[in-house]
Amino acid sequence: MGEKKWAEVRPSEDYFRILNPDGSVKDGAKASVPEVSREELLRWYEVLVETRTFEAMVLRLQRRGVLSVAASSRGEEACGLGAAAALQAGDWLFPAYRQLSAVLYWNAPVDRIMAGLMGNTPEHIREHLPLPPELPHSVNMMPYPIFLGAYIPLAVGCALADKLNGRKHVSLAFVGEGSTSEGDFHDGLNFAGVLESPCVIIVQNNQWSISVPASRQTAAATFAQKAVAHGLPHERVDGNDIFAVYDTVKKAVDRARAGGGATLIEAVTYRILDHNSADSSAVYRTEDEAEYWKTLDPVERFEKYLFNAGVLEQATKTAIEERAEKRLREEIDRGRAVPPTSPDDMFLHHLQGEPGWSVKHQRDELACELAGGNPFLDMTGEGVQ
Amino acid sequence: MTRINELPVTEDMNLVTAVTHTLRQEMQRDPSVRVMGYDIGPIGGVFRATEGLFDEFGPERVIDTPLSENGLLGVAVGMAMRGERPVIEMQFLAFMYNAWGQFIYNLANLHQKTGGAMKVPLTIRATFGGGIKPLPFHSDSTEAYLMHTPGVRVVCPSTPAQAKGLLAAAIRSDDPVVFLEHTKMYRSFREPVPVADYTLPLDKCRVVQEGSDLTLIAWGNMLHYSIAAAAAVAAATHASIEIIDMCSLAPLDVAPVLASVKKTGRCVIVHEARRTAGPGAEISALINEYALEYLKAPVKRVTAFDVFFPENQIEDAYLPSPGRIKSGIEAVLNYQF
Ligand SMILES: Cc1ncc(C[n+]2csc(CCOP(=O)(O)OP(=O)(O)O)c2C)c(N)n1
Ligand SMILES: [Mg+2]
C-alpha cells in the first residue's frame, strides 16, 4: 500500500438540487418537483432496488469465480435512472458500464445480461434466450463501449441520422468524468454543436477514474463547463437526487426533440465501492470521503421522500424487495443455464456474406482441431481434411 | 555488453517485479527518466508495475496523467524531443488505438522528418496478450500494427531477467521503443534476476535451444507454450528442434532465422496475433525469399485466427495451445516432398 495518495477535493455542491439528503424538498425547489405519477415513482423505486440487488448478487458470483469481472454503480444509481426515465420509446440510449439502472428501467433482459457477463457471444445468447415476439416498444439500447468515450461521437451521429430524416428521436449518452479527457468526448461535443445534433451527453462525475481523482482529470472548475468551448448549453446537477437528474435531463431531451440541439449535463456523484472487482481502492484512497457520500445516498433519499409523501409504506417496500430478489434470482439462473458458447461462434459476423478464403480455412482448421485432428496437414490449399 | 551470467548477486523476480525493479534502477541512474500514464501514481498501475515509485520519486518523476492515450503519447513525445526519457504505461495495448495519430506521425516519424536532428528517446510499456479472461479488447496481440510502422523498435521479453535487460536498453535507447509485457506472464513464474544493472541488445533474437530438424519461432507467452510443445514432440520422436525467441520484433533479427532454417530446412512460426498480415507472414516471406532452396517442408504458421479476440468462454480455442503448436510441428516434420 502506497504512503502518498492524491488528496480528494470535494466537489462544489452549488448545483441544481430538488431533494435534500434527508428526503425533504429543498427550500424554493417546490415548483421543480417533477410531475410524475404515483405508479411511475414506485417504478423508479423498484428499478433502484433491482439495480442494487442485482449488482450485489453479481459481485457475490464474481467472488465465487462464476464470472471474471464485475463493476458496481452503488451510490450512483439515480444518474442512470433519472436520465433514462426522461426518454421515450424510439429514443437511443448509450450507457457506459455504470448505468445498469438506465437499462433496467427500459426492461433490458436480465437473463441476457447475466449470460453476457458469463462470457457468451451475443449470437449464442440470442439463440438460447429468445425474446418474446410481442415486446413493448422501448428505447434502443447500445452495448457499452470498452473504449472510454468512444460512443460519444456515435451518439451524436445517431441523433443526426434521426434529425436528417425528420424523426423526432433523441440520443442520450453517458460518459464517466475520467473519460472526458479522451479526444472522442471533445470531438463528439464539437460536432454536436456545429451540426445541431439532437442528443444529450451526461458526464457521470463519480470523482474517480480508477485511481485518478477528478481534480487531476481537468483543471476546469466543473465538467459541465466543458460545454462552453463547444457552444453547447450545460447543466450541473446533484447526481444523487433523482428528481434533479430527471428534471434537468427531461428539459434537455425535450429541447433536443424540439430542434434545439445538444446539451451537456454533469451529474455529480461518488463511486462508493472499488472501480470493479479487480480493483482495491484502499491502495489509493481513504474511506473518509466515501463515508461522507454515504450520507447522500440516492436510494435512501428517494425512499425517505416516498415515505414522507405517502407513496411508499413498509409493506410495499418489503413486497418490492422480495419481488426484485425473486425475479433477479430467476433471471440469473436462466442466464447461467445457457449452455457453453461454441468456439465456432468467434468466426461469425465479421463480414456479411462470404468471409473469404483465409477465414473459411481457419474455421475448418479449428473444427479439425476440436475433432482431435491435425489442422496443419493441408499443404496445397485444397482444404483441411 | 555485460553477460548476465557473470553477475553473481541475484534476486528472485517475476515479470512484473522485474519491471518495477528496472524502472526504479533506471530512475535512480538517470534523472531524465520519468514514468508517465494514468493510474501509475499512488495505485502503482493496475498490474502494480510501478508500485512504490510514486512514494520514492514523487509526482514529477512519476506523472499520473489524465485519461487520454493520445494526449499521453503526444505530450511524452514533446518531452522526449527536449531530452527527457519518458517511460509511458499503456494500460492495455489496445488503448494504443486511441493514440494512433501521435504514435505514427510524431513518435515514429519525428526523427526522420527532421533529417535525424530530433530524437524521441521514449519507451512505451504496453501490456498485451491473452489468457487471463478479462474484458473485451484487453487481450489484443496486435504487434503487427507496430511492426508495420517505420521508426520504432518493438521488443517482447519472455522471462524476468530478459525483461530487465531489454527494458533498461529500451529506456537508454535514443529511439522510441515499444516494450510488450504479457499479462499472463506477469506472475506466472519467477527466476533469479541479477541485481546489478545490465542491458540486452534490442535487435537480437535469442536461440533458446539448438536443434537440427526444425526451427520453432515464438515470443512472449507463446515461447513457453512452444518450449512445452517441442518437448512433447521430442519425447515422442527424438526430433531435434531449434527454438528461437524472437524478442526483437522490430527491427526483426532476420539473419539468425535464415541461418537456422538453412540448417534445419523446416520452420514453424507461433504467435497469438491474428494470422493474416501478422508477424509470421513477414517471417515466412523472408524464409521463402532467402532460404527456399534449403526448405524440406512448407513453413507453417500456428496462430490465432483472423477474428476479434473472442468472448471469455471461447478464448482458449482462439489462442494457440501447446497442443496446436505440437500439431504444427508434427505436420511439418512429417511432410515428404
Ligand atoms: C480508451 C480506454 N482507455 C483506458 C481504459 C481503461 N479504463 C477502464 S475504466 C477506466 C476509468 C474510467 O473512469 P471514468 O471515466 O471516470 O468512469 P468510472 O469508472 O468512474 O465510471 C479506465 C482507465 C479503457 N477502457 N479505454
Ligand atoms: Mg469516474
B39-89 pLDDT, tens digit each:
999 999 999 999 999 999 999 999 999 999 999 999 999 999 999 999 999
Q: What is the mean pLDDT of residues A334-351?
A: 98
List of residues 6+ apart from B235 with CB closer than 8 A: none
pLDDT in tens, B270-308: 999 999 999 999 999 999 999 999 999 999 999 999 999
Q: Is the ipTM of this complex over 0.90?
A: yes
By DSSP bridging, strand A92-94 and strand A140-141 are parallel
The amino acid occupying position A101 is S
pLDDT of residue A1 exceeding 70, the answer is no
Residues B213 and B265 occupy one common structural domain: yes
Interchain CB distance below 8 Å, B38 and A118: no
List of residues 6+ apart from A380 with CB closer than 8 A: none
Assigned C-alpha cell, B322: 501447446
Interchain CB distance below 8 Å, A346 and B307: yes
Residues B34 and B133 occupy one common structural domain: yes
One of B138, B182, B224, B271 is an active-site residue; which one? B138
pLDDT at B30: 98
Residues B210 and B186 occupy one common structural domain: no
Instruction: Please check whether residue B199 lies inside any domain of the structure.
Output: no
The answer to whether B301 contacts chain A (CB < 8 Å) is: no
Distance of CA A13 to the CA centre of its chain: 24
The answer to whether A215 contacts chain B (CB < 8 Å) is: no
Instruction: Please check whether residue B4 lies inside any domain of the structure.
Output: no
Question: B52 vs chain A: nearest CA distance in angstroms?
Answer: 6
Residue nearest to atom 19 of ligand 1 (CA): A209
Choosing from B194, B215, B242, the residue where a domain stops is B194
> Which region among A2-6, A215-219, B9-13, B33-37 has the lowest average model confidence (pLDDT)?
A2-6
Choosing from B137, B165, B194, the residue where a domain stops is B194
Percent of chain B at pLDDT above 90?
A: 96
Q: What is the mean pLDDT of residues A71-84?
A: 98
Nearest chain A residue to B92 by CA distance is: A147
Assigned C-alpha cell, A74: 452503488
Nearest-angstrom CA–CA distance, A204 and A270: 9
The answer to whether A187 contacts chain B (CB < 8 Å) is: no
Assigned C-alpha cell, A232: 453547447
Percent of chain A at pLDDT above 70?
A: 100
Domain with B43 in it: 9-194
Residue ranges in chain A assigned as alpha helix (H): 38-63, 77-84, 100-105, 110-117, 122-128, 151-164, 183-194, 242-257, 288-294, 298-308, 314-336, 357-370
Q: Which CATH superfamily is domain A30-336 in?
A: Thiamin diphosphate (ThDP)-binding fold, Pyr/PP domains (3.40.50.970)
pLDDT of residue B1 exceeding 70, the answer is no
Assigned C-alpha cell, B125: 510499456
Count of residues in chain B = 337
The answer to whether B52 contacts chain A (CB < 8 Å) is: yes
Q: Phi then psi for B213, rounded to 5 degrees?
A: -105, -25
pLDDT at A285: 96
List of residues 6+ apart from B243 with CB closer than 8 A: B207, B208, B209, B211, B216, B217, B218, B223, B226, B227, B230
Residues B122 and B238 occupy one common structural domain: no
Instruction: Please check whether residue B200 lies inside any domain of the structure.
Output: no
Residues B26 and B139 occupy one common structural domain: yes
Interchain CB distance below 8 Å, A179 and B67: yes
Residue ranges in B173-293 assigned as alpha helix (H): 221-237, 254-264, 279-290
- Nearest beta carbon to residue A345 from set B66, B314, B324: B314
pLDDT at A319: 98
> Which region among A132-146, A192-206, A301-315, B116-130 has the lowest average model confidence (pLDDT)?
A132-146
Helix H, strand E, coil C: the string for B113-143 is: HCCCCCCCCCEEEEEECCCCCCCCCCCCCCH
CATH of the domain at B83: 3.40.50.970
The answer to whether A209 contacts chain B (CB < 8 Å) is: yes
Nearest-angstrom CA–CA distance, B82 and B93: 26
Range B294-312 burial, b when 16+ CB lie within 10 A, else e = ebbbbbbbbbbbbbebbbb
Residues B213 and B177 occupy one common structural domain: no
Question: A96 vs chain B: nearest CA distance in angstroms?
Answer: 14
The amino acid occupying position A252 is A
Nearest-angstrom CA–CA distance, A216 and A195: 31
Contacts of B96 in chain A (CB under 8 A): none
Interchain CB distance below 8 Å, A284 and B68: no
Cis preceding-peptide flag for B251 (omega within 30 of 0): yes
Average pLDDT taken over every residue of chain B = 97
Residues B187 and B303 occupy one common structural domain: no
B224 a catalytic residue: no
Domain count, chain B: 2
Assigned C-alpha cell, A129: 434466450
Nearest-angstrom CA–CA distance, A14 and A74: 23
Residues B184 and B215 occupy one common structural domain: no
Element spanning A260, H or E: none
Task: Report residue A135's pLDDT band, with 50, 70 and 90 as the boundaries.
Answer: confident
Residues B13 and B161 occupy one common structural domain: yes
List all residues whose CB is within 6 A of at least one atom of ligand 1.
A 98, 146-148, 176-179, 206, 208-210, 271, 275; B 38, 67, 91, 95, 98
Task: Report residue B2's pLDDT band, with 50, 70 and 90 as the boundaries.
Answer: low
- For chain A, domain boundaries: 30-336, 344-385
pLDDT at A109: 97
Decide: helix, strand or coil at residue B195. Answer: coil
8 Å CB contact between A214 and A221:
no
Choosing from B135, B164, B194, the residue where a domain stops is B194
CATH of the domain at B220: 3.40.50.920
Residues 325-354 of A with CB under 8 A from B: 340-343, 345-347, 350
pLDDT at A37: 98
Residues B170 and B215 occupy one common structural domain: no
Q: Tell me the DSSP string of A133-199.
A: SSPPP--EEPPPPSSTTTHHHHHHHHHHHHHHTT----EEEEEETGGGGSHHHHHHHHHHHHTT--E
Decide: helix, strand or coil at residue B218. Answer: strand
Looking from the CA of residue A146, the nearest atom of ligand 1 is: 25
Q: What is the mean pLDDT of residues B256-266?
A: 98
pLDDT of residue A61 exceeding 90, the answer is yes
The amino acid occupying position A304 is K
Q: What is the mean pLDDT of residues B112-135?
A: 96
Percent of chain B at pLDDT above 70?
A: 99
Nearest-angstrom CA–CA distance, B205 and B253: 6
Residues B262 and B143 occupy one common structural domain: no
Q: What is the mean pLDDT of residues B214-222?
A: 98
Interchain CB distance below 8 Å, B98 and A147: yes
Contacts of B55 in chain A (CB under 8 A): 2-4
Decide: helix, strand or coil at residue A81. Answer: helix
pLDDT of residue A31 exceeding 90, the answer is no
pLDDT at B4: 74
Residues B226 and B181 occupy one common structural domain: no
- How many angstroms does the Cα of residue A203 sit away from the middle of ligand 2? 9
Nearest chain A residue to B304 by CA distance is: A362
